[in-house]
Structure 1
């Protein structure tokens, strides 16, 4: 873990490089010492149906959800959330300077006893962690 899910309004599809945002957030997460490389997942899901503020379709949103296995201190989680938010904000800054956009991020813990996992990614990394 962590898993980052980016939900974004469909009106951003041709205006924001969503793949670039995913790569940017993965790189930011990779720099966070408390995040194991093999556990990083970043995915983006487009919301085709949405209504924001006054209903004008010019408004858009990017909502980032970070799911993280429990066990990290509040200070570690807060620093990680801030680093990821800053990375997203910096990436989206040029768009936000000219367009209406709401950006949010929420980090939450996952109970490891209720979240079984398996995989072979570590077996295929050049420098397993």
Structure 2
């Protein structure tokens, strides 16, 4: 933990560099600090996974966006078709303060907007970011990653 799972409409693959976004989001998570200045998320436990949905339906399928036209929506080139959507869900273990949770969410939003704002200037895309924490009813871990990041 923490795990950031990104679900998105497959039509975003050709306009968003998902591997770069995943790396930037992981780096942002690793940079989050608590009130004492300590790293919040363990390096070896931080994961960002992105899954495109090849089949999807969003809203009215793009009809309202096409009908509104570029001038009315503020989009510079108009929407090329079907809407896009991206959902980011950060799941973390219990015990972080509300302020730390807010910092994590704000960091993810800033990184995602830095990548998406230019795309959103030409396409209709919805973005949702949620931060969740336990309670887990079962939580087992087995890893050879964590020892790589332990400091002596």
Q: Give the alignment's TM-score, normalised by structure 1.
A: 0.90
CA distance in structure 1 between the aligned counterparts of 2:113 and 2:145, rounded to whole angstroms: 30
Distance change >3 Å, CA 117–CA 53, structure 1 → 2: same
CA distance in structure 2 between the aligned counterparts of 1:110 and 1:39, rounded to whole angstroms: 16
RMSD, matched Cα: 1.7
Structure 1 moving runs of 4+ over 4 Å: none
Gaps of 5+ in 2: 34-39, 63-80
| 1:114 Cα deviation from its structure 2 partner | 2.0
Report which of the two structures shows the higher radius of gyration computed on alpha carbons.
2
Q: State the Cα deviation string for residues 55-114 of structure 1 (Å, max 9, x = none).
A: 225200111010101111111111111111111111111111111111111111123562
Which structure has more strand as a fraction of its residues? Answer: 1
Gaps of 5+ in 1: none
Aligned residues: 128
Q: For residues 18-97 of structure 1, what are the structure 2 equivalents within 5 Å?
A: 18-33=18-33, 34-56=40-62, 57-97=81-121
